[in-house]
Amino acid sequence: MKKIFLVLTLITTMLQAQELKQVPSISVSGEGKIKVIPDEAIITLGVQNNGKDATEVKKKNDDTVDAVLKVIKKHGIAKTDYQTERVSLYKNYDYNAKKYSFQASQTISIYLKDLKKYDALIMDLVESGINNINGVDFKSSKIKELEAQARREAILDAKKKAEDYVSVLNQKVGKAITISDNSRTNYPQPMYKTYAMAADSEGVGMNRETLAIGEIEIISNVSVVFEME
């Protein structure tokens, strides 16, 4: 009899616990979106040389890289704001000519904190020997503040949606039960980014515009479960 009583007590307790957990609730998503004009950029550029002798090709590439680094320093960019991303030396075989050749390359990224320096920097780098501009990724110096603002707006958006739904039922939104951050980590997202380097010719001044900065978006997405009152 005691065993039966204990089993019945356990079942009753479990049923009561389940009833307590069944709180009327509503689950909604929210999005916060901040648009800002970028004031910084990551420029990725490269140096590449080809030839028949590995040592000569490597030396030629190293000499060019040395000139590139001197240009970067000349423009007042801190040592912590540029670095080598990749170094390679390849041996290739031309099946038509039946000869080997070598290719040396190095990729360098520059964290440019003043976009006004872009044109002068790029032109000097081209003259120093770079032959690849692999990309420009725009950034904002206030990214942490903007991310926090986007998160707050996402929560407000979720609450507004919940209020719109429950108001039809003559109910109110209660406290939040759970909050899930669904944001991706690769922010900010460029709305568009285009760049073009003008040809170096007589009469071309450094006041030209070769970079379309546009805007970037900082986006936060959340899922929130609210109690319904």
Read off the pLDDT of residues 15-70 as tens digits, 9 standing for 90 and up.
Answer: 555 555 678 999 999 999 999 999 999 999 999 999 999 999 999 999 999 999 99
Side-chain half-sphere CA neighbours of 10 within 13 A? 6
22-38+141-229 and 40-139, same CATH topology: no
- Estimate to the nearest angstrom the gap between the alpha carbon of 107 and the chain centroid: 19
Q: What pLDDT, on the 0 to 100 scale, is given for residue 212?
A: 82
Q: What pLDDT, on the 0 to 100 scale, is given for residue 96?
A: 87
Q: Which amino acid is at 42?
A: I
Closest by Cα among 153, 174, 148, 152 to 162:
174
Pairwise CA distance, residues 42 & 112, whole Å? 6
Closest by Cα among 143, 146, 76, 153 to 112:
76
pTM of this structure: 0.70
Q: What pLDDT, on the 0 to 100 scale, is given for residue 208?
A: 62
Flag residues of the chain having pLDDT under 50.
5-8, 186-206
Pairwise CA distance, residues 4 & 144, whole Å? 60
Pairwise CA distance, residues 162 & 175, whole Å? 11
Secondary-structure class of domain 40-139 per CATH: alpha beta
Give residue limits of the domains in the chain.
Answer: 22-38+141-229, 40-139
CB 192 within 8 A of CB 136: no
Contacts 24+ apart (CB under 8 A), 156-165: 156/30, 156/32, 157/30, 157/31, 157/32, 158/28, 158/29, 158/30, 158/222, 158/223, 158/224, 159/30, 159/224, 159/226, 160/30, 161/28, 161/29, 161/30, 162/26, 162/28, 162/224, 162/226, 165/26, 165/28
Which CATH superfamily, name and number, covers 22-38+141-229?
Protein of unknown function (DUF541), domain 1 (3.30.110.170)
Q: What pLDDT, on the 0 to 100 scale, is given for residue 183?
A: 85
